[in-house]
Amino acid sequence: MLKPAYLATTSDEINKLINEGEYPYLNLMGFDDYELVELEPDQSEKLQYVSINEDGKILGYFAVSKSLEHNKFYSSVFIKFKYTYDIFGNDTEEAFEDFYKFQKMLFFNPIFTGLEVRSVVDNPANKLYEEWLDLYDGKRMLLPKYVRLKDGKYYDCYLYWLERRDNNEK
């Protein structure tokens, strides 16, 4: 079930889940602050959602910042807490469905026209972002040595820029 994060959990809970997992390519807040999520008290500046199973276990955290001036979403964070999944349950499917709902929320938003995603070149999530390029009039640009991760090293990133198409297309 997809719920606004500020209604369903706390910053401490999200940060605990992140710190317990293995996310070698995670960079949350820009250039080099890769460890902290701060939940906003409403949705005015950020969309922050969690995927929760029927037992109340958090399966994922999905967030984007809003630029009202430029009508775009940026500073995106998409994390599925796979290590918390019940291997005999439907957690994987539910997290996938919730992420898909969040994705639709972004790309079919009537006010916002674009989404900016930055991702370390070696991140397996790039496979999904590459698929989005065709679906949403996307472009990709390489940013050399753009981000410093937990290991203290600098990594190349891709900047994906995705435009919303009219509902009549694809």
- DSSP code per residue over 105-160: HHHT-SS--EEEEEEETT-TTHHHHHHHHHHTT-EEEEEEEEEE-TTS-EEEEEEE
The structural domains of the chain, ordered by start, are: 2-163 (3.40.630.30)
Q: What is the pLDDT of residues 62-83, one digit of tens each?
A: 999 999 888 899 989 999 998 8
Q: Longest Cα pair distance anywhere in the chain, in angstroms? A: 46
For 69-100, b where at least 16 C-beta lie within 10 A, e where not — what string? Answer: eeebbebbbbbbbeebbeeeeebeebbeebbe
Whether residue 99 is predicted with pLDDT greater than 90 in this model: the reply is: yes
pLDDT for 170 = 44
Contacts of 65 (CB under 8 A, 6+ apart): 45, 46, 73, 74, 75
pTM of the model: 0.89
Lowest mean pLDDT among 63-72, 85-94, 98-107: 85-94
